[in-house]
Chains A and B, each alone.
Chain A
Amino acid sequence: MTTNEEIVESLVSESCISLFNDYSLPLKRTEAKTESNDTDLLYCGVVGFTGEQMRGAILLATTREPLGRTSPVNDTSFREWIAELSNQLLGRLKNKLMSRGVLLHMSTPVVLRGQHLTPLTANELKPLVFECEGGVVCVWMDAEIIGGVDLAVEQADSGSISEGEGMLF
């Protein structure tokens, strides 16, 4: 039986892959262990979230190349773009969780810049690691799932609008 944590990991992975794919950068999930001194992670966006069923933060960190390759404008500020990517990543995850009855409220993103970035969490938290052309993308999902919720139960169409879509009223 798939646990809630495994489901969240799967949804985060799907969200990250589809997000970068929408910006024309295919990602490949890798099981390679990433230690902070193995990968020169330079930029990290952090977005917090809270809700009745789940709360925590998501961290998206990349080397320089994935930011340059995915930015939709020239001369982008990497600080701006990692903030927006983090925001869109959590937004995507939020929409997926909505179909499983979980509602999240998001904060606005904070950006960190440095070398060998890695979060220090209370519990050992391993990143989801993705390889791409020219670099690496890592995601840490530091989430507390409140007892009683069963993420395996997917609801019928939640009526949410999908990424890239829109409507006029």
Chain B
Amino acid sequence: MKKILVVDDSATVRQQVGLALTQAGYAVVEACDGQEGLAMLDKGGVAMVICDVNMPRMSGLDMLENLRRDPRHAAVPVVMLTTEGHPGLVERAKKAGAKGWIVKPFKAELMISAVSKLVGA
């Protein structure tokens, strides 16, 4: 079962995303900010990351840029899940190596479709 890391400072959002993913057959681990997200990645086994942008301690974009510099995790696909829709931010994420961008509130079928395309069922 593919393991997806959900990174968001909102426990409700983590639960909501986790529920959608587990119902689609994925395993889920959580982190509350970018720093914790990197620590979870270091434990290994994560196939993909779904990550908020605005978080305390370390933002999603900072986490993404850190992740891409680490050869152990550089190939892990990351999709941003955020309230932000600004094309400048989207472009920054794309250049930093993100594979997608979803604006909250998310539609479960759209998210599952994105995950499936990036890591398979």
Contacts and interface: CB of A to CB of B under 8 A. Distances in A.
A is bound by B = yes
Contacts of B101: 161, 166-167, 169
A16 B56 CA distance: 24
B106 A84 contact: no
A96 to B, nearest CB: 10
Interface residues of A, number: 34
Nearest to A78: B12
B58 to A, nearest CB: 12
A164 B54 CA distance: 17
A163 B103 contact: yes
Contacts of B79: 166, 168
Contacts of A163: 83, 85, 103-105
B107 to A, nearest CB: 5
Contact of B105 (A88, A159, A160): A88
Interface in A104-120: 106, 108
B98 A169 contact: yes
B110 A166 contact: yes
A77 B10 CA distance: 10
Given A88-B105, A91-B104, A108 B9 contact: yes
Contacts, number: 102
Nearest to A75: B15
B95 to A, nearest CB: 10
B13 interface: yes
A158 B87 contact: yes
Interface in B74-93: 79, 82-87, 90
A35 interface: no
Nearest to B102: A166
B12 A88 contact: no
B10 A108 contact: no
A166 B90 contact: no
A76 to B, nearest CB: 5
A27 to B, nearest CB: 15
A22 B10 CA distance: 18
B55 interface: yes
Contacts of B24: none
13 contacts: A80-B12, A84-B10, A91-B85, A91-B104, A94-B84, A95-B83, A95-B103, A98-B85, A103-B86, A163-B83, A163-B105, A164-B107, A166-B103
Given A71-B12, A160-B85, 6 more contacts: A76-B12, A76-B15, A94-B84, A106-B54, A166-B101, A167-B101
Interface of B: 9-13, 15-16, 19, 54-56, 79, 82-87, 90, 94, 98-107, 110-111, 114, 117-118
